[in-house]
């Protein structure tokens, strides 16, 4: 099992999760985070920390696409291990559906 970030993170990018991760397996894009599925130790401490409920275990239904999505971008984006402010419209974007198609950016974040 591993944990993955889903589209609920897009446009919010809360980083409470990265602060508690013991193995620094989060990677930062311009408007979202991902978890490297091979680096995640399945401890689960990140899941309850996410205000947007964007972190899910890969054992839930239909998570295969999110495992591959997280794998792809974790290999392209820089690691993030410090908490940062969420994106300016995070509260407004939290819970919106279809964010992957509408808003996702492949650009890397700053990391750190």
Residues 60/16, Cβ–Cβ less than 8 Å: no
| Fold (topology level) of 3-82 | Alpha-Beta Plaits (3.30.70)
Cα 105 to chain centroid, rounded: 13
Q: Are strands 55-57 and 3-5 parallel, antiparallel or unpaired?
A: antiparallel
Domain boundaries, the chain: 3-82
**How far is it, in rounded angstroms, from Cα 77 to Cα 55?**
18
pLDDT tens, position by position, 24-61:
999 999 999 999 999 999 999 999 999 999 999 999 99
CA atoms 41, 79, 103, 105: torsion sign: negative
Q: Encoding tokens for residue 17?
A: 């999760």
**How far is it, in rounded angstroms, from Cα 67 to Cα 86?**
23
* pLDDT band (50, 70, 90) for residue 1: confident
Over pLDDT 90: what percentage of the chain?
99
Q: Give the torsion through C-alpha atoms of 20, 58, 79, 69, to 10 deg.
A: -150
Q: Encoding tokens for residue 10?
A: 């897009």
**How far is it, in rounded angstroms, from Cα 40 to Cα 60?**
16
């Amino acid at each position: 099992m591993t944990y993955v970030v889903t589209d609920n993170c897009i446009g919010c990018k809360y980083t409470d999760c990265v602060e508690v991760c013991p193995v620094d397996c989060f990677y930062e894009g311009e408007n979202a985070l991902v978890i490297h599925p091979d680096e995640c130790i399945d401890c689960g401490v990140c899941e309850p920390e996410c205000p947007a409920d964007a972190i899910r275990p890969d054992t839930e239904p239909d998570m295969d696409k999110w495992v591959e999505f997280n794998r792809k971008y974790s290999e392209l984006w820089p690691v993030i291990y410090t908490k940062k402010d969420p994106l300016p419209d995070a509260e407004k974007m939290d819970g919106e559906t279809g964010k992957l198609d509408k808003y996702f950016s492949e650009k890397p974040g700053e990391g750190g």
